Structure 1
Amino acid sequence: MTRTLSMDDLTAENKLLREKLRLLENEKEVWRKTQFIANAADQLLTMIDRKYTYESVNQAYCRARGQRHEDVIGKSVAAVWGQTQFDSIIKPKLDHCFAGNVTSSEDWFKFDGRELRCYQVTYNPYRDDSGQVTHAVVVTHDITARKHAEAGMKKANDRLERRVQERTEALEQANNQLRNEIEERKRVEKALRESEDRYRSVSRDMPAMVCRYLPNGDLTFANIRFKNHFQLSDKTLLDFNVFTFIPDNERQRMKNRLQRLRPEKPMVIYEQCTRTEIGDILWRQWTDRALFDEKGHAMEYQSVIIDITEKKNVESKLQQAQKMEAIGTLAGGIAHDFNNLLMGIQGNISLMYLDVNHCHPLYENIHSIEQLVDSGANLTRQLLGFARGGKYVVKPVNLNEVVTETAALFGRTRKSIRIHETYEPNVRMVSADRGQIEQVLINLYLNAWQAMSEKGDLYLETQNVTIDEKFVKPFEINYGDYVRISVTDTGKGIDPTISHRIFDPFFTTKEFGCGSGLGLASVFGIVKNHDGIVDFESHPGRGTTFSVYLPVSQKTSKEPAPAPKGILKGPETILLVDDESYILDIGVKMLEKMGYTVIKASCGNDAIRVFTDFRQKIDLVILDLIMPDIGGGDVFDRLRTIRPDIKVLLASGYSMGDAAAIISRGCNGFIQKPFGMEKLSHAIREVIDNGHHQPAV
């Protein structure tokens, strides 16, 4: 017998069902928010069962495919991507995932009718309550992907609300409909819990901090990385305000950016620079996204924060290296021209010495001029040390010996500095100009002494190291085995605002007249020309460490024979080539005083013409390296074509490093301007008598 419900019974049951409906509405809101996390992500998220069939995909995936959910859900992966891509790329990784393993790779895929693009794909095993792997959660990063609104969910919700509103004809009919809706909501609730568990797994594995917060900054959600970074627990999570950890000078700008977000442009990406309590600089990339209500008002914000400090540091070092290369070219040109001027002065002094003895009243004046020329040459040497590195006579060097000797020399003159030495017992040999490396170390010692206000501790260390490709990338050198020299002081450190300029030539923090600003610039140039690296780490108030890396060498060292003294003469015929008339004139006079027959040429074309006419009479060519019409390298090659056995001595205001290519092709010698008669005479005899010589510097 069917019991007829009274109106009171129906009313009570209706009230109960509506209360359950309200609870389900709340659960629905939780489900919507969870869906928002997944659909707001830039990654393509899919869930694939063990039959290789799509069970779930997010909005980013559909947008990238240009399809709807129903076009993908239930279809096989092979049908969506094509059998070839499925067999060769996707299936092996799915099988590995179904075996319980997390796997990640970068693969090239081609969407239907679209261009070939690269995606980073992570396959995560999803386990049921019994621990069995039932699905693969696939996270695909597409940098061009953008989230669509949760149109599908809103459409389903609108349809559900219309159905509820239409059930008003009779209370019994409404109750029946409500019972059906409750059953439907229970099913949705179960699916929501399963979906939430899956997307929590995705959020946990994301390589970024993710948080959601209200317009006033109160936190509503944070992933594990965010909680760990700010040491938040589930209890303290809701008491945390996002704006509290934003620096004062950036907080208002962030709020302004959020307020400018609109439904048609709901996302903004920007970089933020902060400083830690100990002075370290941190860079983060922020991706802020807004969730709007139906009226276009922002209800909630989501931020994805990625640490890009290492990327910024690499970019900064690369920019610094490129800038130093450009400045070095300019400095080298200045030094070359200045050395040519000094050459004219030094040549005339050498000639004057031939007619002036120690008793002559002008001898001291001439000697003073020569000392000034030496000072000018030292200055250009420092410029060339920065620009070209000043690498002249290269041989295997034991850096322990160089550091020990320079430290002892420095310690005798700076007794207020306590020097601490730690050396690699079996330090490897490096190929270097010992004198130039000594200049590098002395400059670093002096820089440390000045930073410590002339009193403190200086720590010196050598170490065999192997540096990888990632470390050397900004410096454009080879990775491999190096010897590192570390010079650490306990001084005031380097102001971060000027740290990018410390290797610039003529840049100094000293008072006017107290320094040339070429010390660290020459350090940079010398080390760079030795195919090495000079880097530094500094903390204000806690000192600075300069690290010099030089590549190892397997060569053995041979001591050169001592050079003879005095001016050496000869009877040979010499072709002198230089585009500067004053250097050409003084060179002719110097060579004639040494007894040589001199033929001169004022440019490259002139040199080739003269040499062609007198090829058998000429015993030696003194060739300028830089000329306006034909460079010294091309002239050398053409002279050797005309007469392969001709001996050539290169002369230049640049360092030997610039002539290395010509030396390697068989040129007999190199002498750097400015030089006097004695040095020139020795270089000439070495080339003529022996066919080669150690370059004069």
Structure 2
Amino acid sequence: MTPNQSSINPKSNTQSPLPQRRAEQLNQTLFKISNAVRVSRNLDDLYGSIHQILGEIMDLTNFFIALYDKEAGRISFPYFRDIYDAEEVYCDELRLDNCLTGGVIQNAMPVFLRKEELERRRDSKTLVGTVPELWLGIPLKIKGEVIGIMATLSYHDADLFDQIDLHTLISVSDQIALAIERKQYEQALSSSEKKYRTILETMVEGYFEQDQEGRITMANPAMCKMLDTPVEEVVGTRFEKFFANLETNTIPNAFQNIINGDKTNLSLEFELSLKDDSVRYFEGTFSSIRDENHTIKGIRGIVRNITEKKIAEKTQKRFEEKLQQSQRLESLGTLAGGVAHDFNNLLMGIQGRISIIQADLDEQHPHFTQLARMESYIEKASNLTSQLLGFARGGKYEIKAVNLNHIIENSIAIVQPAKKAIEIRTVFKDNQSVVEVDENQLEQVLVNLLLNASQAMLQGGTITIGTEKITVDDNSAAVKSIIPGPYLQVTVEDTGVGISEKNIGKIFDPFFTTNPSGGSTGLGLAMVYGIIENHHGFISVESTVNEGTCFTILLPSSQKKIVPDDKRPIETQTGTDTILLVDDEPMVTEVGKEMISMLGYEAVTASSGLEALKIIKDRDKKIDLFIIDMIMPQMSGGELFDRLKSSDPDVKILLSSGYSIDGEAREIINRGCKGFIQKPFT
């Protein structure tokens, strides 16, 4: 039951003045309690200090402080000293209606109870624990609201406390309640600050605060790590320092809008320049810091490092651009390859006719010189088709291990005599730079790049060609669409006029040229691109207007041993054997038949694979050699080869095409074909 007011009042409610000595002690006690709030580290220290201070004027062997949580309806004992009972005896059982502490809280009045009353409380189950001789309980109030009580008791001396002691405790109760509340606020604030500090110190995002002048007043470890600067160098530094050398910097203006009150918060992406001059990318959310009067005092920001994300986006963009370029060039390459193939057939017919006519003329004949000039024109036309086939990735393709440095030196020897105003330097970091390439094609690549560089330096300048071994990792390989591993890197760098930003993305396009004189076909760099791609390599370009251009080529490095060329002179062989020329172009079969006959051989022609098989079936005489075109209607050269090979494993066959030896032709060679002839041939 709840004790009524009369049962908990002391015997006399009249508060007589305290004796002078106790009054002096009380004043000192109040001062000490006030000071204890300031010096105690936490609530536990404060409770202990209160107990000690009060114990100097009273015997408080048994003393406790209880707090009441009104919302939870819970009584707790943060400080408890008792010679018989332990705190645990109370905690699980106490309610407002079953204990002395609850009665004081409910009635908000002090009590002074002696043993007779205490035993009645025990019998009525409103007392928990050992029954003492005396029990004093004083409510602790804040603005009339009970927050808890303090209590003392005596188990052996019924006269240990009197009215003076009761009034002393009543006199200090308000001070103690205020002290507890203040320390609770301080401890809650300290706990909040500690939690806040822990969050800031462990969060992966950067956090900073700056004042109105832009000086950083606080930065967490993540922010300092992002800036690659220790905290002692970050705090006190103006944030603008980290934007040095960045022209596209909008942060100061955005921050000023917050300081001016034009915006309360904003989110944006920005760049920061670090000590090593590297640039990192960030995104941040920023807001104003205001005081209790809502006056703006500075800015706080939460920052995330998005450098990897930005690099990935740029990498993806470059990959997409490269894919689009490759698809565009592949379509154009298919067209160019087809044109070159048909053009080579035409050149074959023209060249063959000229050779036949020359064979019947004396060198002194007036037409002989004209025919020789026509041959030179055909050779130029053949070089043009070679460029087209190079761009189309369908040129002659004879792979072997070579020293890349030697090819560079040979290319320089071709270009240097005609470009005496240009200094060409080489920087070879490894003498044995072995790659597996078509030597002639790679020489075309380097000569084209050297000529392009020299044309960008009409008043003279320097070209630097360097080679070095590098390793391409998985990420870089994915961007470049090549296989990870060891590569040889070739750089061709000039000091010329450079390439404008609007043109640099088009330089590998076929027929694109910036030469105003019209002296360029615009196929040179397209051919370079096609050849490098065809060798499973990568080529890129960087350029700055009025400073120069640098082409970078990556070619797979090889461990193969270089085998010296067998350069025995080619001799024209005559004979009487029978040769079957199979080609769907009449101009090729007509001129080919005459050229073969001129060498003494019996020439037979067929316009298709089916016709060739019929000729073999109808002839009694054996065919000693077949020359087969690769691309024909109805039956391809590859299919005809397989049919002939199945009938006679020892059959001698040469392949012929306006395309290259690469691809299907190479596969047929590996299956036993005796050789390959690139059109036009004579």
CA displacement at 1:172 relative to structure 2: 1.2
Structure 1: how far apart are the matches of 2:272 and 2:238? 24
Structure 2: how far apart are the matches of 1:218 and 1:174? 47
Letter of the 1:509 counterpart: T
Structure 2: how far apart are the matches of 1:369 and 1:3? 137
Distance 1:503 1:543, change over 3 A: same
CA displacement at 1:478 relative to structure 2: 3.5
Confirm or deny that 1:671 pairs with 2:672: no
Letter of the 1:311 counterpart: A
CA displacement at 1:652 relative to structure 2: 0.9
CA displacement at 1:227 relative to structure 2: 4.5
Q: Which residue of 2 aligns with 1:580?
A: 585
Q: Which residue of 1 aligns with 2:552?
A: 547
Conserved? CA contact 2:656–2:677, under 8 Å: yes
Structure 2: how far apart are the matches of 1:346 and 1:576? 17
Confirm or deny that 1:384 pairs with 2:389: yes
Structure 2: how far apart are the matches of 1:367 and 1:410? 26
The CA deviation string for residues 584-614 of structure 1, in whole angstroms up to 9 with x for no partner, is 3333333334343344333344445555665
Q: Which residue of 2 aligns with 1:558?
A: 564
Structure 2: how far apart are the matches of 1:239 and 1:432? 53
Letter of the 1:306 counterpart: I
Conserved? CA contact 1:318–1:475, under 8 Å: yes
Q: Which residue of 1 aligns with 2:378?
A: 373
Structure 1: how far apart are the matches of 2:301 and 2:235? 19
Structure 1: how far apart are the matches of 2:17 and 2:444? 107
- Of 442, 465, 473, the match for 2:478: 473
- Of 358, 362, 377, the match for 2:363: 358
Q: How does 1:326-475 map to 2 (within 5 A)?
A: 326-328=328-330, 329-330=333-334, 331-388=336-393, 390=395, 392-424=397-429, 426-475=431-480
Distance 1:173 1:481, change over 3 A: closer
Q: How does 1:47-58 map to 2 (within 5 A)?
A: none
Distance 1:315 1:604, change over 3 A: farther
Letter of the 2:145 counterpart: Q
Q: Which residue of 2 aligns with 1:62?
A: none
Structure 1: how far apart are the matches of 2:422 and 2:272? 32
Please give the secondary structure, in 2, of the residue aligned with 1:657. coil
- Of 517, 522, 525, the match for 2:522: 517
CA displacement at 1:346 relative to structure 2: 1.9
Q: Which residue of 2 aligns with 1:504?
A: 509
Structure 1: how far apart are the matches of 2:237 and 2:607? 83
CA displacement at 1:565 relative to structure 2: 4.2
Letter of the 2:677 counterpart: I
- Of 153, 172, 192, the match for 2:144: 172
Q: Which residue of 1 aligns with 2:68?
A: none
Conserved? CA contact 1:623–1:649, under 8 Å: yes
Structure 1: how far apart are the matches of 2:179 and 2:394? 86
Please give the secondary structure, in 1, of the residue aligned with 2:337. helix
Conserved? CA contact 2:207–2:300, under 8 Å: no
Q: How does 1:155-194 map to 2 (within 5 A)?
A: 171-173=143-145, 185-194=185-194
Q: Which residue of 2 aligns with 1:315?
A: 316
Distance 1:616 1:580, change over 3 A: same
Letter of the 2:307 counterpart: D
Please give the secondary structure, in 2, of the residue aligned with 1:591. helix
CA displacement at 1:381 relative to structure 2: 0.9
CA displacement at 1:385 relative to structure 2: 2.1
CA displacement at 1:511 relative to structure 2: 0.9
Distance 1:350 1:224, change over 3 A: same
The CA deviation string for residues 116-161 of structure 1, in whole angstroms up to 9 with x for no partner, is xxxxxxxxxxxxxxxxxxxxxxxxxxxxxxxxxxxxxxxxxxxxxx
Distance 1:667 1:508, change over 3 A: same
Q: Which residue of 2 aligns with 1:603?
A: 608
Conserved? CA contact 1:534–1:547, under 8 Å: yes
Conserved? CA contact 1:482–1:549, under 8 Å: yes
Letter of the 2:235 counterpart: D
Structure 2: how far apart are the matches of 1:548 and 1:424? 15
Structure 2: how far apart are the matches of 1:649 and 1:501? 40
CA displacement at 1:360 relative to structure 2: 4.1
> Between Structure 1 and Structure 2, whose CA radius of gyration is higher?
2
Structure 2: how far apart are the matches of 1:421 and 1:235? 50
Letter of the 2:465 counterpart: L
Structure 2: how far apart are the matches of 1:625 and 1:612? 22
Q: How does 1:632-651 map to 2 (within 5 A)?
A: 632-651=637-656
Please give the secondary structure, in 2, of the residue aligned with 1:600. strand
Unaligned stretches of 5+ residues in structure 1: 5-15, 21-168, 257-265, 292-298, 677-697
Structure 2: how far apart are the matches of 1:405 and 1:187? 82
Structure 1: how far apart are the matches of 2:389 and 2:562? 27
CA displacement at 1:541 relative to structure 2: 3.6
CA displacement at 1:544 relative to structure 2: 2.7
Q: How does 1:3-18 map to 2 (within 5 A)?
A: none
Conserved? CA contact 2:269–2:282, under 8 Å: yes
Distance 1:593 1:404, change over 3 A: closer
Distance 1:615 1:404, change over 3 A: farther
Conserved? CA contact 2:215–2:239, under 8 Å: yes
Conserved? CA contact 1:219–1:239, under 8 Å: no
Please report the TM-score for the alignment, with normalisation by the length of structure 2. Answer: 0.60
CA displacement at 1:442 relative to structure 2: 1.8
Conserved? CA contact 2:423–2:461, under 8 Å: yes
CA displacement at 1:651 relative to structure 2: 0.9
Distance 1:660 1:444, change over 3 A: same
CA displacement at 1:561 relative to structure 2: 4.0
Q: Which residue of 2 aligns with 1:147?
A: none
The CA deviation string for residues 563-592 of structure 1, in whole angstroms up to 9 with x for no partner, is 3345x3332233322233333333333333
Conserved? CA contact 2:218–2:235, under 8 Å: no
Conserved? CA contact 1:463–1:484, under 8 Å: yes
Letter of the 1:376 counterpart: A
**Equivalent pairs: percent with the same residue?**
34
- Of 324, 335, 339, the match for 2:326: 324
Two-structure CA RMSD over aligned residues (Å): 4.9
CA displacement at 1:195 relative to structure 2: 2.7
CA displacement at 1:649 relative to structure 2: 1.0
Please give the secondary structure, in 1, of the residue aligned with 2:570. coil
Please report the TM-score for the alignment, with normalisation by the length of structure 1. Answer: 0.59
Confirm or deny that 1:623 pairs with 2:637: no
Structure 2: how far apart are the matches of 1:342 and 1:378? 11
Q: Which residue of 2 aligns with 1:247?
A: 248
Conserved? CA contact 2:655–2:677, under 8 Å: yes
Q: Which residue of 2 aligns with 1:487?
A: 492
Q: Which residue of 1 aligns with 2:201?
A: 201
Distance 1:252 1:405, change over 3 A: same
The CA deviation string for residues 18-52 of structure 1, in whole angstroms up to 9 with x for no partner, is xx9xxxxxxxxxxxxxxxxxxxxxxxxxxxxxxxx
Conserved? CA contact 1:576–1:599, under 8 Å: yes
Distance 1:228 1:564, change over 3 A: closer
Letter of the 1:470 counterpart: N
Structure 2: how far apart are the matches of 1:456 and 1:230? 46
CA displacement at 1:557 relative to structure 2: 1.5
Q: Bigger shift: 221-230 or 625-634?
A: 221-230
Distance 1:186 1:667, change over 3 A: farther
Conserved? CA contact 1:210–1:225, under 8 Å: no
Please give the secondary structure, in 2, of the residue aligned with 1:656. coil
Please give the secondary structure, in 2, of the residue aligned with 1:504. coil
The CA deviation string for residues 40-67 of structure 1, in whole angstroms up to 9 with x for no partner, is xxxxxxxxxxxxxxxxxxxxxxxxxxxx
Letter of the 2:428 counterpart: Y
The CA deviation string for residues 390-442 of structure 1, in whole angstroms up to 9 with x for no partner, is 45444332233333343344333222222333334542433333333322222
Structure 1: how far apart are the matches of 2:253 and 2:589? 69
- Of 511, 532, 535, the match for 2:540: 535
Letter of the 2:671 counterpart: R
